[in-house]
Amino acid sequence: MGRLLPKAELHVHIEGTLEPELVVGLARRNGVTLPADGVDGLRARYRFEGLQSFLDVLNANMAVLRTERDFYDMTLGYLRRARDNGVRRAEIFFDLQAHLARGVPMDAVFDGLAAAVADGERELGVSAALLLCIVRDRGPEEAERVLREAIRRHRDRFIGIGLASAELGHPPSLFREVYAIAAAEGLRRTVHAGEEGPPGYVREALDLLGAERIDHGIRAMEDPDLVARLRAERVPLTVCPLSNVRLGIVPSLREHPLPAMLRANLMVTVNSDNPAYVGGYAEDNYRALRDELGLDPTTLATIAANSFDAAFLDPETRARFQAELRTGAANG
Ligand SMILES: [Zn+2]
């Protein structure tokens, strides 16, 4: 077996990397009572029927995150697993609003995450950066207030923003002002759209929020004009196949639109989303595409190359990773 493809992971929520063992450990450390007993009890709850049922479990487990050290341990743990999955660059979402709502100080969140990102780079050789992820069902006013405060106090610690959580009924158009603030600050902008929501949400993300990447975007395939536009503009789509199956967004991997998206020449990347909950990390997704959908090595290398092209990297680092990928692909 050849070595792992070097790749960038562009769509991963740090709270979704909390493995049950760590949830139990942090609950003990912080004296938090969990909704289920032990690792097996937690895992038994990981049966999801759509996005909301997943979000309910995710949010319940998040209660164990209290201190800077918790955020550090979670993030460094993820970066170790990312490295073992061939990830050379990770752009990581974090749900700042959810932590503030539980009474965690903003500094604890940023200090823990930023320290892990720095140590991950130095000790593991994984390039990493943070994307502040707006929790869309908490509404635009809170998002605006929290973003302004994060910019004032921690601007150098995150490179951009995202928009996630419950999609239906919370269209991108509500967040124009939030994205205008981010754009004025030179922050990069991604938007979750077209996971459960309609293709029109993808258009709004592009036209009203200036999204540079669309997270998921699989429902764009229902709209041929939108597909043509995404192709012409080379809009990166951060697709998460195992997540889509586990959350019931698509019935099975065999019915996933990813092969059709590749045939349509869309700029597809493959990512884990919430790996501790949905059955796998980055390489697990690549492997599933190879083993269950029969994607060939050239196609998988193209997806990995897309991931470096779509990453928010400086040109030299991007070129270095692309060169690594070419060498790896030649040997593999
Ligand atoms: Zn996501």
Assign residue 298 the CATH number of its domain: 3.20.20.140
Query: Is residue 1 in some structural domain?
Result: no
2 assigned to some structural domain:
no
Tokens of 10: 């562009």
What distance in angstroms lies between residue 16's CA and the mean position of ligand 1's atoms? 9
| 332 CA → ligand 1 middle, Å | 30
Give domain status of residue 98, yes or no.
yes
> CA 115, 119, 121, 124 torsion: positive or negative?
negative
Question: Is 109 within a domain?
Answer: yes
Q: At 94, phi and psi to the nearest 5? A: -140, 140
- With respect to residue 204, please indicate whether it lies within any of the assigned structural domains: yes
Residue written as token pair 């059955």: 279
21 Cβ contact partners less than 8 Å away, ≥ 6 residues apart: 39
Share of the chain above pLDDT 70, in %: 98
Q: How far is the CA of 274 from the centre of ligand 1 (A)?
A: 7
Structural domains in the chain (count) = 1
Ligand 1 mean position to 210 CA, how many Å? Answer: 18
Q: In this predicted model, what pLDDT tens digit does every residue of 176-189 receive, in sequence order?
A: 999 999 999 999 99
- Give tens-digit pLDDT for 71-120: 999 999 999 999 999 999 999 999 999 999 999 999 999 999 999 999 99
Residue 131 lies in a domain: yes
DSSP string of 29-78, one letter each residue: HHTPPPSSSHHHHHHHT---SSHHHHHHHHHHHHTT--SHHHHHHHHHHH
Residue 185 included in any domain: yes
Domain membership of residue 88 as a residue range: 7-331
| Ligand-binding site membership of 216 (annotated) | no
pLDDT score of 235 more than 60? yes
The active-site residue, picked from 15, 19, 68, 195, is: 195
Under the banding of pLDDT at 50, 70 and 90, the label for residue 330 is low
Nearest to 247 by CA among 51, 17, 58, 44: 51
Is 195 catalytic? The answer is yes
Tell me if 48 is assigned to some domain. Answer: yes
Over the stretch 115-161, which tens digit does the pLDDT of each residue have? 999 999 999 999 999 999 999 999 999 999 999 999 999 999 999 99
What does the pLDDT read at residue 310?
A: 98
Is there a binding annotation on residue 170?
no
